[in-house]
């Protein structure tokens, strides 16, 4: 008996000594932020330009998909925090009210006295638990995700864009679409330019906290759209724009920011959405540089770039027995013989022209050793070759006129025959003169065709004869030798 008592005591002691299981940590609420892009109002544009609305919408969606998370401002964070607290409290209060109503109905169920007391005891216990839950919900403030995952609405992901709501129906639209915000815009024509306005409605503010507009010419449509899209993406992400300053040496170095010209030698401060930006710099006779830079919201980033000069080698350009002008592209370099320095390992194209109009060119390939380059200018066209070229052009021109005159003659012949048939069938005197005129025109067309045919024969004979002769008298001398 003592042994049984000791075992029972040990079991009860181990039960009370067992540590309590820790409650699972509550995850932050509202982990996603959904945006709906509505169709832009382009009704004020002519039909030929309404495609701009679709272009803007597609570009906007493409760039919005690059947002990973949205940074909530304090007002938005407070709104969702209060909303979650009110929702928890409302659910707990509804559950408690339902259970109290169930307790009130218990007396009318017709239970036996023992069963009524048992059911009453059970319900009273559940009511106490629900009262504790309500007190906990009133006292506890739920945690909200500070940087929720950004998502576009399902309709946008499917490639469709709903119509924007009517004024006063914005909040109901957000509830219906299950979205936290929506973008709406309008495009109108303003003195030959496009004027675009865009607004962001958020459920937490129940207003349009962000509005922007841009005006641009038809030729600058893509540039204007890109500018508006960049600013809108920054606003939607909730992050402050970053700023970047670039200092480059030499002073004439070209600075590109994501492929767009930012300045020469020094650029900035330039606003840019947070994220990675590609900065490229290049200058003549210097090695180009390309640097990715990570920008953070509200940060001022400063970048110093010192381009390295290219190593050079000597190059001499000469033309045998005469002087010529040397060009690199459209840049005039000087007269031959010309000594210049060129970047080592770089390909280059050089062009020379003599006062008599002869020309020549050479491509210096990358990696070739320094050497003197002799450019042999092209031999000018001789008089005999010019005659052949002229005879060829005349020959092709006569054939072109032949194929214009032939269908024209057939067409006018058909019109003349139709006029004569109409006069023959009706005998109407008013058609006689018309038929006569048509016949004269048709005869004239056939005469022209005959002349053109004669010209074709003549040009063919001349071309064959001229081409059969030697175009260069030097060749004849060489053959006799």
DSSP code per residue over 408-430: HHHHHHHHHHHHHHHHHHH--TH
Range with lowest mean pLDDT among 83-87, 104-108, 283-287, 353-357: 353-357
Closest listed residue to residue 431, CA positions, set 416, 446, 452, 450: 416
The residues pairing with 78 across neighbouring beta strands, listed in sequence order, are none
Which pLDDT score, from 0 to 100, does residue 345 have?
Answer: 66
| Cα angle value 290/295/300 (rounded, 5°) | 105
* High-pLDDT (> 70) share of the chain, %: 85
d(CA 223, CA 466): 58
- Residue 346 CA to residue 368 CA, distance in Å, equals 9
Burial of 17 (0-12, 13-18, 19+ CB in 10 A): exposed
User: Can you give the pLDDT at residue 129?
Assistant: 87
How is residue 144 annotated by DSSP? B
Which of the pair, 39 or 365, is modelled with greater confidence?
39
Q: Is pLDDT of 238 > 60?
A: yes
Max Cα-Cα span within the chain: 147
pLDDT tens, position by position, 282-291: 888 888 888 8
Contact present, 346 and 328 (Cβ < 8 Å): no
The C-alpha atoms of residue 179 and residue 77 are separated, in whole angstroms, by 16
Residue listed under structure tokens 């009130």: 104
Question: Residues with Cβ < 8 Å from 356, sequence gap 6 or more?
Answer: 380
Is 452 or 297 the better-scoring residue by pLDDT? 452
The verdict on whether omega for the bond into residue 75 sits within 30 degrees of 0, i.e. cis, is no
Give the predicted TM-score (pTM) of the model: 0.44
Give the model's pLDDT for residue 172: 92
What are the C-alpha distances in Å from 408 to residues 372, 397, 419, 433, 474?
A: 62, 17, 17, 22, 47
6: left (phi over 0), alpha (psi -120 to 50) or beta: alpha
Which of 93-97, 99-103, 335-339, 446-450 is the least confident region? 335-339
Cis previous bond, 250, omega within 30: yes
Reported as a pLDDT band with limits 50, 70 and 90, residue 5 is very low
3-state secondary structure of 222: helix
Residue 4 pLDDT > 50, yes or no?
A: no
Residues in the chain: 481
């Amino acid at each position: 008996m003592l042994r049984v008592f000791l075992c029972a005591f040990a079991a009860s002691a181990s039960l009370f000594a067992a540590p309590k299981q820790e409650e699972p940590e509550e995850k932050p609420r509202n982990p996603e932020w959904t945006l709906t892009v509505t169709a832009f109002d382009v009704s004020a544009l002519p039909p030929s330009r309404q495609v701009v609305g679709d272009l803007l919408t597609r570009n906007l969606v493409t760039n919005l998909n690059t947002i990973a998370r949205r940074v909530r401002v304090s007002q938005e964070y407070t709104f969702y925090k209060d909303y979650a607290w009110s929702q928890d409290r409302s659910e707990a209060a509804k559950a408690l009210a339902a259970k109290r109503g169930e307790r009130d109905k218990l007396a009318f169920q017709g239970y036996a006295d023992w069963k009524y007391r048992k059911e009453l005891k059970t319900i009273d216990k559940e009511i106490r638990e629900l009262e504790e839950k309500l007190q906990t919900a009133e006292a506890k403030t739920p945690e909200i995700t500070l940087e929720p995952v950004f998502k576009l609405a399902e309709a946008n992901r499917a490639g469709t864009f709903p119509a924007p709501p009517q004024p006063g129906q914005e909040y109901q639209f957000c509830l219906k679409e299950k979205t936290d915000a929506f973008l709406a815009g309008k495009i109108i024509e303003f003195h030959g330019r496009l004027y675009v306005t865009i607004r962001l409605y958020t459920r937490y503010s129940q207003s349009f906290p962000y509005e922007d507009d841009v005006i641009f010419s038809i030729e600058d449509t893509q540039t204007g759209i890109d500018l508006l899209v960049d600013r809108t993406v920054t606003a939607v992400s909730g992050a402050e724009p970053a700023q970047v300053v670039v200092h480059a040496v030499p002073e004439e170095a070209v600075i590109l920011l994501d492929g767009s010209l930012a300045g020469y030698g020094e650029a900035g401060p330039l606003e840019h959405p947070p994220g990675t930006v590609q900065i490229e710099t290049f200058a003549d006779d210097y090695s180009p540089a390309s640097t990715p830079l990570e920008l953070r919201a509200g940060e001022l980033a400063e970048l110093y770039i010192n381009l390295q000069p290219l190593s050079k080698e000597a190059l001499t350009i000469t033309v045998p027995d005469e002087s010529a002008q040397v060009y690199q592209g459209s840049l005039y370099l000087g007269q031959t013989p010309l000594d210049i320095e060129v970047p080592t390992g770089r390909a280059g194209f050089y062009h020379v022209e003599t006062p008599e109009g002869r020309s020549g060119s050479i491509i210096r390939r990358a990696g070739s050793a320094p050497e003197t380059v002799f450019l042999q200018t092209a031999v000018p066209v001789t008089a005999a070759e010019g005659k052949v070229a002229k005879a060829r052009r005349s020959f092709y021109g006569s054939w072109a006129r032949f194929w214009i005159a032939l269908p024209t003659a057939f067409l006018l012949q058909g019109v003349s025959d139709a006029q004569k048939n109409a006069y023959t069938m009706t005998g109407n005197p008013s058609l006689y003169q018309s038929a006569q005129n048509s016949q004269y025109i048709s005869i004239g067309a056939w005469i022209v065709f005959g002349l053109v045919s004669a010209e074709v024969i003549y040009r063919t004979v001349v071309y064959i004869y001229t081409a059969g002769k030697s175009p260069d008298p030097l060749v004849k001398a060489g053959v006799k030798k």
